[in-house]
Amino acid sequence: MLRMLGKQGSLPIDLAQLPPEAAALIAQMQQRLEQQERQLGEHARELAQQQALLERKDREIALRQAKIEKINFELARLKRWKFGAKSEAMSAEQRQLFQDTVAEDEASLQAQLAALQASLPETPKAPKAPPRKPRREALPQHLRRVDHRHEPEDTTCGCGRSMVRVGEDVSERLDIVPAEFFVHRHIYGKWACRCCQSLKQEPAAPEIVDGGIPASGLVAHTLISRFVDHLPYYRQEAINARSGVHTPRSTLAAWAGYAGAALEPLYDAHKRFVLGARVLHADETPVALLDPGAGKTRRAYVWAYARGEHDGQRGVIFEFCLGRGGQYPVAFLGGEDGAWRGTLLTDQYAGYDTAMDARV
DSSP readout, 54-107?
Answer: HHHHHHHHHHHHHHHHHHHHHHHHHHHHHHSPPPTTS-HHHHHHHHHHHHHHHH
Q: Are 232 and 226 in contact (CB under 8 A)?
A: yes
Mean confidence (pLDDT) of the chain: 82
Question: Phi, psi (5° rounding) for residue 210?
Answer: -70, 120
Q: 63-72, 90-99, 172-181, 292-301: lowest mean pLDDT where?
A: 90-99
Distance CA 102, CA 104 (A): 5
> When comparing pLDDT for 2 and 213, which is higher?
213
What is the mean pLDDT of the segment spanning 154-161? Answer: 86
| Sheet strands (E) in 308-349 | 316-321, 343-345
Q: In angstroms, how far is CA 113 from the centroid of its own chain?
A: 36
Beta strand pairing call for 279-291 and 343-345 = parallel
Instruction: For residue 277, count CB atoms less than 10 angstroms from its CB and return exposed for 0-12, middle for 13-18, buried for 19 or more.
Output: buried
> When comparing pLDDT for 7 and 79, which is higher?
79
Question: What proportion of the chain, given as a percentage, has pLDDT over 90?
Answer: 30
Q: Among residues 226, 265, 275, which one has the least CA distance to residue 249?
A: 226
End-to-end CA distance of the chain: 114
Long-range contacts of 142-146 (CB under 8 A, 24+ apart): 143/174, 145/172
What is the mean pLDDT of the segment spanning 147-153? Answer: 90
Planar angle of CA 102, 106, 115, nearest 5 degrees? 160
pLDDT for position 336: 54
Residues 6+ apart with CB under 8 A from 244: 181
pLDDT for position 105: 66
Neighbour count for residue 282 (Cβ, 10 Å): 19
Residues 6+ apart with CB under 8 A from 310: 279
Q: Answer yes or no: is pLDDT of 330 > 80.
A: yes
Length of the chain: 360
Q: Answer yes or no: is pLDDT of 14 > 70.
A: no
pLDDT for position 214: 93
What is the mean pLDDT of the segment spanning 254-275? Answer: 93
What is the mean pLDDT of the segment spanning 114-125? Answer: 68
Greatest Cα pair distance in the chain: 164
| Sheet strands (E) in the chain | 2-4, 11-13, 191-193, 198-200, 279-291, 296-307, 316-321, 343-345
pLDDT category at 92 given cuts 50, 70, 90 is low
Q: Answer yes or no: is pLDDT of 65 > 90.
A: no
Long-range contacts of 55-58 (CB under 8 A, 24+ apart): none
pLDDT category at 358 given cuts 50, 70, 90 is very low
Instruction: For residue 258, count CB atoms less than 10 angstroms from its CB and return exposed for 0-12, middle for 13-18, buried for 19 or more.
Output: middle
> When comparing pLDDT for 73 and 118, which is higher?
73
Q: Are 287 and 301 in contact (CB under 8 A)?
A: yes
Distance CA 216, CA 269 (A): 21
Distance CA 44, CA 42 (A): 5
pLDDT for position 359: 45
